[in-house]
Chains A and B, each alone.
Chain A
Amino acid sequence: MTATRRALAISTLALLLPIVDGCSAPKPAKPKVEQVLRMRMRENPPDTDPAQSADSLSDRINLAVHDGLVDFEPQSLAIVPAVAESWEISKDGLTYTFRLRPGVRFHNGRAMTSEDVLYSFTRILDPKVNSKRREILAGVKGAEAFGQGKATTVEGFSAPDPKSFVITLDKPMPYFLQLLATPAAAIVPREVYDDPQKAYLAQPVGCGPFKVARWERSNFMELEAFGDYYQGRPKLDQVLVRFIESPASAMEEYRRGGLDYMDEMVGSESAIARELPQDYRKAPLLASFYFGFNLGRPPFKGNTNLRKAFNYAVNRQALCDQTFEGTLTPSHGILTPGTPGFNTQLKGYEFNPELAREYLVKAGYPGGKGLPALDLWVNNNQKLLEAAQKVQADLKSVGINVRIKAVDFAAFLQALQGTPQTPGDALFYRYGWNADYPDPDAFLYWLLHSRNIGPAGNIGRYSNPKVDELLDQARSMSAMEERIPLYQQAEQIAVEEDAAWLFLADYTQRILIKPYVQGVVLSPLGSMRIPLDHLSIGPHSAAGKSTP
C-alpha cells in the first residue's frame, strides 16, 4: 500500500501543478505614475451627453470633460467666467450678452465660436434630443414655440459675431446665470454631437480640462489632461476613474492604496473617521432629507393637524445622532444652511410627543384610533431603512402605526410619482432634494409650486395659492435682498402653517481623500464639484499601489 500512496501522492501533485502554476506570484506593482488621481465611482456614468446629465455620476464626468459659459466658484458658489470671459445684463434683466474668451478649443482641436454656443443651447431645447435638463433654458424667449415645433430657431438666442452670444429671456430670472453654470449647459461641438449613431456617448468631446482617453465600461475610465485647455493645462496628468460597485471592496482598495479618493463609505463612519482622520472630510451639502406626505389622498389630504402630529412625534436629534452618527443635522424647515435665504428664525417642530397626541385628537384620530396603518415607502438602502425604523418607533409611541415598505428604486419611483393629474399610490415616503443651483428657488419653486405637481418635483402635491403667488413674485425680481423675504414667507407658510411634509434633516457630504491630494475643495453642491483641474498629487510615501 505504501507504493500505492506514494504513487498517488505524486499523481495528485501532478494534477495540482497547473493550478499552483496559475497562481504564480503577481507582477510587482508598477511605480505610481506622477500626477494621477485614482478615484472610485459606483458605476458607469449613466449619461455622458451633458444635455441629459441628471445624476451625480454623469455630472462628475461631464464637469471634467465639458465647460459652459460660466461656472460656480466651488466653495462660495459665486458665478465666475468660464468660456465667456465677461457678460452684461440689461437693466430690465431680460438680455444677457456674453463675450467669449479667445483661444477656447474643443478636444478635437477646433476653435470654439458663438455658433457652438447657439448649437449647444438650441440642442437642449430640441424636442428630438428630448433633454432631461430642458428646464434650464425654458425661460428663454421663443423656447416654448421651438419646443412645440412652431419655430425653426429659438428667438431668444443670437450669435451676432463669432465672439458674442446674446440670450433674451421671457421674464427676468435672477438665477439664470446659475442655471448656465449647471453641467447640462455645456458647450459642445456640432460636428460631434450631430451624429445620429451617438458615438459621442462613448467618446465625449468638450472643451473642459480633461478628455476621455479610454473607457472600458464597468472597469475604468481614463481622463487625460487637455493640453490646450483655455484655463491652462490641469496639474494632474490623468484622472483614473475606477468603477467599483461594492463599497466594502472599494474601502479595502482605498486602505491598500489603490484609490486616492472615494465618496461612499461602508460601516460605521465614526470608526472610519477615527481610523483615517487625515483622509476623512465632511462638509455641508445643499440637500435635505425628509419623509413626504401624499397631500392628494386621505388621510393627509386637507388634514394639517395630522401632519403636525407627525412632525411633533419624531425625535430628529436622536435620528441624526444615533442612526446617522452625526452625518446629518436636524432640520427645522426646507432650505438648508448655506442656501441664500436660510431662515435661522424658523421654529419648525421640536420633539414633543404630548403635543403630537394633542394634534392627533384635533386631527380626529385620538391616540391614533381610526387612522389606518400607513405604508412608509423606502427604497432599498440600509441607512434609509434604519431611519424609517427610527421614525416608525417614534410614531408608534404616540399611537400612529406605520409599516415599512422597502422596494427597489424603480418601484419606489413609480409608487411616488403619479402624474400631474393623478396622485401616486404611496401616501408616506422617504424623500430628499438636492439643489442644482444655490438659490432658494432651487428648493421652494420645484417642491412647493402647484405648477410642478407630479414628476416635475412637487411629488407631495402641495398646493397653496398664497405660496404660488409669493414664489412667482420672487422669481421675477432681480435683487436678492428683495426676493429673500418672499421666499422666507413662502417657506414659513409651508412649514409652520401647512406642515407640508415631515421635516427631518439636512444632508452633509463626507469623502475619503488621501492627504497627499492637494487643492481639494468641497462644494456645497456636492463632491462631483471638486475641481479636478485644480488638484495635484503632493509628495507621499509610495506604499503598496495597485492598478485596477
Chain B
Amino acid sequence: MTSYLLRRCLGLLPVLWAVATLVWILLFALPGDPAAMLSGGLRSDPQVLERVRQEWGLNESPAAQYLRYLTRLASGNLGTSYLQRRPVSGILAETFPATAILALSSMLLASLAGVALGLVSAVWEKRWPDDLISFVCLGLISLPVFWLGMMLILLFASRLGWLPVLGYGMDGLIIPATRIRLPELNHLVLPTLTLALFSLGAICRVTRASLLEALHQRYILSSTARGVHPMSIHLRSALRNALIPVVTVLGIDFAALLGGAVATEFVFAWPGLGKTIVHGIADRDLPVVEGGVLCLCLAFVLVNLAVDLCYALVDPRVRLQ
C-alpha cells in the first residue's frame, strides 16, 4: 500500500510538468501583451510600458522566460500576480477553499440523491418511476448550468424569497487555525443545488445500470430464496457490488466540479478559483492562470488517487499494487 502510494505520488511529477508546460505554451501563444494590460490599457505611457516589461521579465526571450518559470516552480514558488502584486499561493489559498466547499457540497448532494434515485429507478425498472426519473435525469444533463442557476435564482430567491440571490455571505464561520471562512449556509444552497442537479443525472443513470446488472446475479436470487429482507438485499448486497462504476463517475465528476464550476461561480458571484482563473486569462495575469491550473491539476490527480483507494474499500477483491 505504501509503495503504491509512493509510486503514484512520484508519477505526479511528470504530469505536473506536462501541465505546467502546456499552460505556459498556451498562454504564450495567446495574443495580447500582459505589459500593455498592466500599463493603463488603451492609454499607456511608453516609458511605463517598458519598465513593466523589465520588471516582470517580459522582454526576455521565450526560452529564458520558460526556464525562469520552471526554475521558479521547481523551488515551489508559484510566482507573483502581475495585477494584484501579491503571491499567487496567497490568491489560491483564498479562492480554492470556496471552490472546494461548493464542489464538496454539490458532490455530496448529487451522490446521495443520484444513488437514491438510481436505486428507485432500478427497483421499479421500466415502470413509471423509472421512466420519470430517466426523463428528469436526461433533462438535467442537457441543461446549461448558467441557465439552470438563473432559473433557480428566479424561483427560489426572486419569486419565493426563500434564499439569497447570490454571494458567499459575510458572516460564515472561520475554520480554526486557518483563514478559511465558510460560506453562510443559506448562501450555499442555490449554487450547490445548481451543480448537484447538473451532476445528478449521470450518477443516477450509472447507479441504475450498474444496479440492474447486479440485481440479475445469482447471489441475489440465492439471497431472496434464503428469505433475506429485500431492503438488505438491495442495499447491502446489490448496491455494494454496483458501486465501483458509481465511485468512478463520482471521482470524475468531483474533479470536474473543482475546475468546471466557473459558470456557477459567475452566476452566483461565488469567490472561487474558477472565476479567478478566467479573470487571470482575460487580464493576461499569467502567474495566476498558471498557478490556478496547476492547483486544479493537482486536485484532479489527488481525487483520482482517492477514487482508486476507494475501490479497495468498496470491493475487498481489489488489491492496490
What residues make up the interface of A, taking CB atoms closer than 8 Å to B? 3-5, 7-8, 10-12, 15-16, 18-19, 22-27, 43, 46-47, 54-55, 127, 130-135, 147, 198, 201-202, 216-220, 242-246, 248-250, 252-253, 255-256, 258, 407-411, 413-417, 419-420, 431, 446, 454-457, 459, 544, 546-548
Contacts and interface: CB of A to CB of B under 8 A. Distances in A.
A46 B43 CA distance: 16
Contacts of A219: 167-168, 170, 269, 271
Contact of A414 (B36, B109, B170, B235): B36
B165 A11 contact: no
B84 A256 contact: no
A410 B36 CA distance: 8
Given A11-B231, A132-B44, A410 B32 contact: yes
Contact of A258 (B44, B165, B193, B283): B165
Interface string B15-56: 000000000000000111110110111111111110110010
Contacts of A249: 150, 153, 165-166, 266-269
A408 B278 CA distance: 12
Interface in B84-113: 84-86, 91, 94-95, 105, 108-109, 112-113
A415 B40 contact: no
B56 to A, nearest CB: 11
B165 A455 contact: no
A43 B285 CA distance: 15
A16 B115 CA distance: 10
B40 A54 contact: yes
A252 B269 contact: no
Query: Which of B33, B48, B83 has the most chain A CB atoms inside 10 A of its CB?
Result: B48
Contact of A132 (B39, B123, B267): B39
Given A4-B230, A217-B94, A26 B267 contact: no
Given A220-B167, A248-B267, A252-B150, 10 more contacts: A11-B231, A26-B164, A134-B48, A249-B268, A410-B33, A431-B42, A456-B45, A457-B43, A546-B164, A548-B167
22 contacts: A7-B229, A8-B230, A8-B234, A10-B231, A11-B119, A27-B184, A46-B83, A47-B83, A54-B40, A217-B271, A218-B276, A219-B269, A220-B167, A249-B269, A252-B150, A253-B165, A409-B282, A410-B34, A455-B44, A456-B45, A546-B164, A547-B171
Contacts of A46: 83, 283
Contacts of B44: 132, 417, 455-456
Given A15-B115, A132-B44, A245-B266, A410 B51 contact: no
B157 interface: yes
B161 interface: yes
Nearest to B149: A249
B220 interface: no
A548 B168 contact: yes
A131 B189 CA distance: 44
B172 to A, nearest CB: 10
Contacts of B205: none
A26 B52 CA distance: 48
Contacts of A43: 279
B310 interface: no
A16 B229 contact: no
Contact of A455 (B46, B120, B267, B272): B46
Given A26-B186, A46-B83, A544 B161 contact: yes
B205 to A, nearest CB: 17
Given A246-B266, A407-B31, A547-B169, A19 B113 contact: yes
B97 to A, nearest CB: 12
A410 B165 contact: no
A216 B181 contact: yes
Contacts of B208: none
A245 B120 contact: no
Interface string B216-257: 000000000000011100110000000000000000000000
A446 B116 contact: no
B84 A201 contact: yes
Given A249-B269, A455-B49, A15 B112 contact: yes
B185 interface: yes
A417 B36 CA distance: 9
Contacts of A23: 189, 193
Contacts of A4: 123, 230-231, 234
Nearest to B189: A23
B4 interface: no
A256 B185 contact: no
A411 B282 CA distance: 9
A195 to B, nearest CB: 12
Contacts of A135: 45
B163 interface: yes
B269 A244 contact: yes
Contacts of A216: 168, 170, 181, 271
Contacts of A407: 31
A220 B170 contact: yes
B235 A11 contact: yes
Nearest to A7: B231
A456 B47 CA distance: 10
A47 B40 CA distance: 11
Given A26-B186, A54-B40, A243-B269, A256 B112 contact: no
Contact of A248 (B150, B161, B189, B230): B150
B162 interface: yes
A515 to B, nearest CB: 20
Contacts of B171: 547
B113 A413 contact: no
Nearest to A25: B162
Given A22-B105, A218-B95, A407-B31, A198 B115 contact: no
Contacts of B36: 410, 413-414, 417, 455
Nearest to B165: A253
B123 A18 contact: no
Interface string B116-150: 10011001100000000000000000000000001
A8 B120 contact: yes
Contacts of A11: 119, 231, 234-235
Query: Which of B37, B47, B167, B266 has the most chain A CB atoms inside 10 A of its CB?
Result: B167
B185 A24 contact: yes
Given A15-B115, A411-B32, A413-B36, A252 B48 contact: no
A455 B39 contact: yes
A414 B32 contact: yes
Contacts of B64: none
Contact of A245 (B83, B124, B275): B275
Contact of B48 (A16, A131, A253, A414): A131
